[in-house]
Amino acid sequence: MNGLPKLNFPAIRLRARHRGAEVEVWDPLRGIYLVLTPEEWVRQHLIAYLVSRCGARPMRIVQEYAVALNGQSQRADVVVVDAQARPLLLAECKAPQVKIDERTLAQAVRYNSVLGARYVVLTNGLCHYCCEWVDGAYRRLAGYPDLSEVGE
């Protein structure tokens, strides 16, 4: 779609429209059209994966989750909350051409120092890193966590 690369996620169907020179895609969670940027391409694939393969409930997925950090308002790309609305998974999405590196991890860790989510996901759609906060340290997981029964 629109020259964007194939990602390391299952293919998804997006409802798209042209608005001037831009392509917009329908975001079913927010109920609005969004400009299809490379980062949004990754975010929509990640959300579809979290729902279809990880068992996340759509009503528990929050995009652009507000994070108050050092008096500044920041936004985490995707947060999945548990049944008590506590952050369970924090995900940072980057455009496919952006390398997932120490800066990406540091950004997610800063956000999570406020949110306290059990899982942290970093993805550019091509490379994925999933970690779990266990005993005061992040432990890398072999894959995405099962969210279907967590936090019930």
pLDDT digits (tens, 9 = 90+) for 109-122: 999 999 999 999 99
Instruction: State the Cα–Cα distance between residues 66 and 111, nearest whole angstrom.
Output: 9
Whole-model pTM? 0.94
Question: Residues 15-38: pLDDT tens digits?
Answer: 999 999 999 999 999 999 999 999
Please report the pLDDT score of residue 8 as a whole number. 97
What are the structural domains of the chain?
38-140 (3.90.1570.30)
